[in-house]
Amino acid sequence: MTHPVNILERYWKFTEFRPFQEDAINAVLKGEDTFVLLPTGGGKSLCFQVPALIKEGICIVISPLIALMKEQVQTLQDKGIKAMALTSGISYAQLDTLLDNCIYGNYKFLYLSPERLQQELVQERIKQMNVSFIAVDEAHCISQWGNDFRPAYKNIAVLRQLQPTANMIALTASAKPEVVDDIIKELDFINPKVFRQSFSRANLAYMVFHEEDKYYRIETILKKYKAASIIYVRNRKLTLELSSFLESKGILATYYHGGLSNAEKDTHMNLWLNNQKQVMVATNAFGMGIDKPDVKTVIHLNLPESMESYFQEAGRAGRNGEKAFAVILKNNGDEVLIKSQFLNVLPTVDFIKQVYRKLCNYFQISYGEGEYLTFDFDFNTFCKTYDFNSVLCYNSLLVLDRTSIISLSKQFKNNISVQFIIANHVLFNYLETHQNLALIVKSMLRIYGGIFDHDTKINTLSIAEKASVTEPQLISALLQLEKDEIIKLNLAKTDAQITFIEPREDDKTINRIAYIIEQQNELKQRQVKAMLDYVENDSVCKSMQLLAYFGEKNTESCGICSVCISTKKTNISKDANAIRNSIIELLETGDYSSRAISTRLGLSEKDIKNTLQMMLEHDMIAITKTNTYKLSHL
């Protein structure tokens, strides 16, 4: 058998594993049921990808994150490894062919969503596959007390019947002890091998600062630590606003949110990854699969929704092992804000029933019908039609999606159809005087045979590739052809697609998931309370608080968080001589305002004002024309 390190070196160019990786890999290779809890950046995916390349057969990977599935499949394919993902938008015929390829085509990985696993065709073909083992990623989704519980995950156990001899590996980055126990029980693990890395990050200083002027504090931090940083904000508007503010202060920044096009996301991401921009200002849409080891600072401008999401986002700092900072900035308005953002927008069972009924009416679905019908969906028009609060309505749709009542795909797309409305010979006369459109028109005619006879849906990417133009150039050409009355053009824009997974049964449908809705709302209440307790507790080491939340006991103070440093500073602040000496040391490096001195020394302006006054009276310092302080002898 090939040694795991050889696989690691051949495909990933590393010469040694991170902690627990090799142990987990060996357990999988021995046929053991395996549980892996590695914090963000710990390298979970290698724990199943490496053994899959050693063992005979195909590894089935269950994941709820379509974007991450696609990313991992693309990465594997780039390494010359045969992998595929069965995502949405695949026709029955395509699905049939792809599943055959998994049986006969020497594939090493098949990525599936838990919903896709429920299809009878998929289950029948899995029975015929030579499955090496099964990997369940984001395994906390199987527990009703886990972050982002998905009921469809409960059905993963069907794989035990389809492939009774295959062992399983479950992986997650954040799970409390009761969630770990739940995962092991739900997946029917027998005497599992559990590899649990401590959540402790010795090089990461967790900081919580009460700050009325958050932008000023961010500017100060970023100018002090001129290295890669991420700032998380609560909405898209703030990403642009804050990045513009930082640029105006001479700090190179870009931004990222879910509303950007893929091209814009890639451009902004690469600017930051290549250190052409110091700061990425982002919503929580940013982060999946980010592996930039030299992030010095992660700052939260607003309170995160849970300790789980905070730990994952903060954990993107300091992956190279060097000292790094995870900073939360809070003020008196944050408690109201976090409750309005995450608790006041939780839809009740009755509201979800109302949204579901209106959704069925909107698409004219009769009672008992609608199963697997797909519709283009304009969310804003739907909300306006029924006068729904957009946030409550969107959260209701997410609940229906997560509980497999509907499938909501949120990719913006153009639905474009074309029909030529002039005779063939007239068209070619037109092209003689419009040579710039000739290649595009001929490409369309070659790809779509019936485009003269009826309205034909076109794939803009295929035509653009064939004609060697960009998609925007193609759209511009189509608009020109429409204006010149050569074609009839239907350029419909939608922001989502909805597929109804169950037949319409109105209240009966929602009553089946009512307990899940109520339990998830209760979980969210508990998560927000835990977050508020964390930011308000200034007496216990921040690292110890985080570790206790995730079930780690008997931990020691980290010595570098805001609480630990404040304790040290309190001792210093009692000694006027110590404050004076600290100010002298700081002013030896340059001139500073009283505000900057207090920020740099981590002391309140009240603590330093008396000392500054005493130093002025003794001519130890002087005030400059710009109202900063300098040492008198400099």
DSSP code per residue over 340-373: HHHTTTPPPHHHHHHHHHHHHHHTTPPTT--TT-
Tell whether 598 is covered by a domain.
yes
Nearest-CA neighbor of 27 among 191, 142, 228, 150?
191
pLDDT of residue 570: 60
pLDDT of residue 544: 96
123 in the same domain as 161: yes
Buried b / exposed e across 66-83, counting CB within 10 Å, b at 16+?
bebbeebbebbeeeebbb
Nearest-CA neighbor of 346 among 394, 275, 403?
394
Token code pair at residue 330: 């809070």
130 in the same domain as 37: yes
In the beta sheet, which residues pair with residue 59?
109, 133
Cα dihedral 6, 9, 195, 178 sign:
negative
DSSP, collapsed to helix, strand or coil, labels residue 311 as: helix
Ranges under pLDDT 50 in the chain: none
190 in the same domain as 48: yes
Tell whether 530 is covered by a domain.
no
Nearest-CA neighbor of 594 among 579, 612, 581?
612
Query: Under a CB-based contact definition with an 8 Å cutoff, are residues 219 and 243 in contact?
Result: no
How many folded domains does the chain comprise?
5
Query: Under a CB-based contact definition with an 8 Å cutoff, are residues 403 and 347 in contact?
Result: no
- DSSP assignment of 443-464: HHHHH-TTTTTS-EE--HHHHH
pLDDT of residue 609: 83
Beta-sheet strands, E only, within 434-509: 456-457, 487-494, 496-500
Tell whether 554 is covered by a domain.
no
Q: How far is CA 294 from CA 173, 225, 246, 275, 285, in A?
A: 20, 12, 20, 10, 20
pLDDT of residue 496: 80
Nearest-CA neighbor of 564 among 598, 537, 600, 540?
540
Longest dimension (CA), the chain: 98
**End-of-domain residue from the set 196, 221, 245:** 196
69 in the same domain as 89: yes
pLDDT of residue 288: 64
215 in the same domain as 134: no
Tell whether 529 is covered by a domain.
no
User: What's the CATH code of the domain at 236?
Assistant: 3.40.50.300
Tell whether 347 is covered by a domain.
yes
| Boundaries of domain holding 464 | 413-494
421 in the same domain as 359: no
425 in the same domain as 456: yes
Q: Where is 377: in which H helix or E strand?
A: strand 374-377
Tell whether 48 is covered by a domain.
yes
Beta-sheet strands, E only, within 222-331: 229-232, 253-256, 279-282, 297-300, 324-330
351 in the same domain as 291: no
176 in the same domain as 238: no
Q: Give all strands of the β-sheet with 168-172 in edge-to-edge order.
A: 83-86, 109-112, 58-62, 131-136, 168-172, 34-37, 193-196
Cα dihedral 79, 82, 85, 90 sign:
positive
For residue range 21-42, what is the model confidence (pLDDT) as tens digits? 999 999 999 999 999 998 877 7
Nearest-CA neighbor of 570 among 598, 593, 602?
602
Query: Under a CB-based contact definition with an 8 Å cutoff, are residues 1 and 146 in contact?
Result: no
Residue 334 CA to residue 328 CA, distance in Å, equals 11
Residue 207 CA to residue 330 CA, distance in Å, equals 11
Nearest-CA neighbor of 61 among 127, 119, 132?
132
pLDDT of residue 464: 85
Residue 116 DSSP symbol: G
286 in the same domain as 234: yes
For residue range 264-286, what is the model confidence (pLDDT) as tens digits? 888 999 999 999 999 999 998 78
290 in the same domain as 362: no
Tell whether 555 is covered by a domain.
no
User: What's the CATH code of the domain at 592?
Assistant: 1.10.10.10
Residue 269 CA to residue 259 CA, distance in Å, equals 14
In the beta sheet, which residues pair with residue 457?
417
In the beta sheet, which residues pair with residue 134?
60, 168
Query: Under a CB-based contact definition with an 8 Å cutoff, are residues 430 and 484 in contact?
Result: yes
406 in the same domain as 420: no
Query: Under a CB-based contact definition with an 8 Å cutoff, are residues 59 and 132 in contact?
Result: yes
Tell whether 563 is covered by a domain.
no
Sort strands 204-210 and 413-420 into parallel, antiparallel or unpaired.
unpaired
